Amino acid sequence: GSKYATKSEPQEEAMCALHHAMDEGNDGIVILPCGSGKSALIAEVMARAGTKCLVLCYEKQGVVQMATLLREHLNLVPNQVCMLTGESKDEPNSLVCFVVMTYGLYAASVGATKKGRASAIGEFLKAQHWDCVACDEVHHACAPTYRPFLEMLQRKARHMLGFTATLYRNDSVAEETRQEHERRLFGWIGPVLYRATAAELERAGLIAKIRRAEVRV
């Protein structure tokens, strides 16, 4: 009965690419514009991957939305979804655990920040061998605070998959093409498995047409 059971054509193509990568044991990145259903893809990938999954978001609002989606649209019981934020922390389930938290909180919990001390939840997180790690807004993954622990996570996870609307970081090199930029900064995660632009989905009528204007005052 989930509204996410019916997918758009780009979602179907992206999911097919994700399934193929997982079957081959490969990691990679999906690029889809905002409003095209990346969160639903993450939820389905989690359900397919196994019983120990980690979703990393950039901001708290993303954590709340992703945890809500997992609870309402997968056949999980409430204590199998562990939402961790600065204000509230669920108790992790040792058998079936879908953890959703921010990159920053993960780094702080496992002692990857300047304070360098792992919390009790951090020790649980460090001990896990994840079936899948999903990195939402993966263009933030190259930040100096995040990349070291993500590389360690990647070595301990069966799959690491990234999702973003724009695979770009403000660290450009003169005369570098977009493809070269992506390989240099994000190639350690894996190749781009699927890509669809906002313009393509606008033409197909699958997302709203959004325009910007600047008014100088």
Instruction: pLDDT band for 114, please (50, 70, 90 cuts).
Output: low
Mean pLDDT of 72-86: 93
Sheet holding 132-136, edge to edge: 81-83, 97-102, 52-57, 132-136, 160-164, 28-31, 192-195
pLDDT for residue 64: 96
pLDDT for residue 82: 96
pLDDT for residue 204: 78
Encoded tokens for 25: 């044991």
On the question of pLDDT at 108 being above 80, the answer is yes
Alpha-helical regions (H) of 110-205: 120-127, 147-156, 178-186, 198-203
Rounded CA-CA distance 129/156 in Å is 5
Give the angle 147-150-155 at the CA atoms, nearest 5°: 130
Q: Are 164 and 62 in contact (CB under 8 A)?
A: no
Q: Are 70 and 76 in contact (CB under 8 A)?
A: yes
On the question of pLDDT at 115 being above 70, the answer is no
pLDDT for residue 117: 66
Residues 6+ apart with CB under 8 A from 46: 53, 55, 70, 74, 98, 132, 134
- Counted residue by residue, the chain has a size of 217
Mean pLDDT of 25-33: 95
pLDDT for residue 202: 84
Give percent of the chain with pLDDT exceeding 90. Answer: 71
Mean pLDDT of 58-83: 94
Give percent of the chain with pLDDT exceeding 70. Answer: 97
User: Which pTM value belongs to this model?
Assistant: 0.90
On the question of pLDDT at 172 being above 80, the answer is no
The average confidence (pLDDT) of the chain is 91
Maximum C-alpha span of the chain: 58
pLDDT for residue 200: 83
